[in-house]
């Protein structure tokens, strides 16, 4: 029997890989503070699964969202200003290229999907008393959709496997900064407009400007 089969939850049929999106959402919800110990039993209770798949899924997140310390267990990573700024600069370069490629390679279906996401996000902002701009994981995420539309699997793999995992913890904090939600939505519209115009240079510039603003917001949230 394979490792994956052995660790699949017998009651729910939930595998460690299948748990990852839910686990990441729970960890990044603000319930755990940076550096705080993460209880496998508490997570298992919250997600309605046994501890085996939770332990295995946490292992997949080690070095990206959590770290395991000898005699201290698993803890949420702590990120200082230098590390956060480094991640955002890498993200700006990679997503700037993704936006440029998406202007060249995206299909009409891709563009319609992005337009639909913006409409959905506007409704979320209008209905949120805090004015937050908290997106989903995977295909529901505006940035992931653009990276997918770029047609570059290498870019998507680097961003999804490294950068996005770590930055998501801070996106939830910076996304609720006063005024940031509506500014981000406006910046997203500028990116989509450039994609519709099939203007690679404009798309890259719009994405870089957006992520620069996001970086300033995240660093401000970190200092607070």
DSSP 48: T
CA 44, 57, 19, 139 dihedral sign is: positive
Contact of 167 with 88, CB cutoff 8 Å: yes
DSSP 148: H
How is 96-139 classified by DSSP, letter by letter? HHHHHHHHHH--HHHHHHHHHHHHHHHHHHHH-TT------SGG
Q: Which residues contact 95 (CB under 8 A, 6 or more apart)?
A: 143, 146, 147, 159, 207, 208, 211
Residue ranges matching CATH 1.20.120.530 in the chain: 81-223
Instruction: Give me the pLDDT at residue 128, please.
Output: 65
Q: What topology is assigned to 81-223 in CATH?
A: 1.20.120
Instruction: Give me the pLDDT at residue 204, please.
Output: 98
Instruction: Give me the pLDDT at residue 65, please.
Output: 81
Instruction: Give me the pLDDT at residue 4, please.
Output: 42
Q: Which CATH number fits domain 3-76: 3.40.50.970, 3.40.640.10, 1.10.10.10, 2.40.40.20?
A: 1.10.10.10
- pLDDT by residue, tens only, the chain of 224 residues: 344 444 555 445 466 677 887 887 787 766 777 788 988 898 999 899 999 999 999 998 887 788 888 888 898 888 788 988 999 999 999 999 999 999 999 999 999 999 999 998 888 888 765 555 555 444 458 999 999 999 999 999 889 877 887 777 666 555 556 678 889 999 999 999 999 999 999 999 999 999 999 898 888 877 76
Residue ranges matching CATH 1.10.10.10 in the chain: 3-76
Residue with tokens 């702590």: 78
Contact of 81 with 69, CB cutoff 8 Å: no
């Amino acid at each position: 029997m394979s490792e994956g089969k052995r660790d699949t939850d017998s009651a729910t049929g939930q595998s460690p890989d299948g748990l990852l999106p839910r686990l990441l959402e729970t960890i990044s919800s603000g319930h755990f503070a940076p550096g705080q110990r993460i209880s496998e039993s508490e997570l298992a209770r919250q997600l309605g699964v046994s501890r085996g798949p939770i332990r295995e899924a946490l292992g997949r997140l080690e070095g990206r969202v959590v770290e395991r310390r000898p005699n201290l267990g698993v803890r949420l990573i702590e990120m200082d200003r230098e590390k956060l700024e480094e991640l955002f600069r890498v993200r700006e370069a990679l997503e700037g290229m993704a936006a440029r490629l998406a202007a060249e390679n995206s299909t009409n279906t891709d563009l319609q999907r992005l337009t639909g996401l913006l409409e959905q996000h506007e409704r979320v902002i209008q209905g949120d008393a805090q004015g937050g701009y908290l997106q989903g994981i995977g295909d529901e995420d505006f940035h992931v959709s653009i990276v997918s539309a770029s047609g570059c699997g290498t870019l998507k793999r680097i961003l999804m496997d490294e950068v996005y995992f770590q930055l998501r913890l801070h996106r939830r904090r910076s996304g609720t900064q006063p005024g940031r939600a509506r500014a981000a939505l406006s910046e997203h519209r500028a990116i989509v407009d450039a994609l519709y115009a099939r203007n690679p240079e404009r798309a890259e510039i719009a994405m870089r400007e957006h992520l620069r603003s996001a970086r300033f917001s995240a660093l401000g949230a970190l200092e607070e």
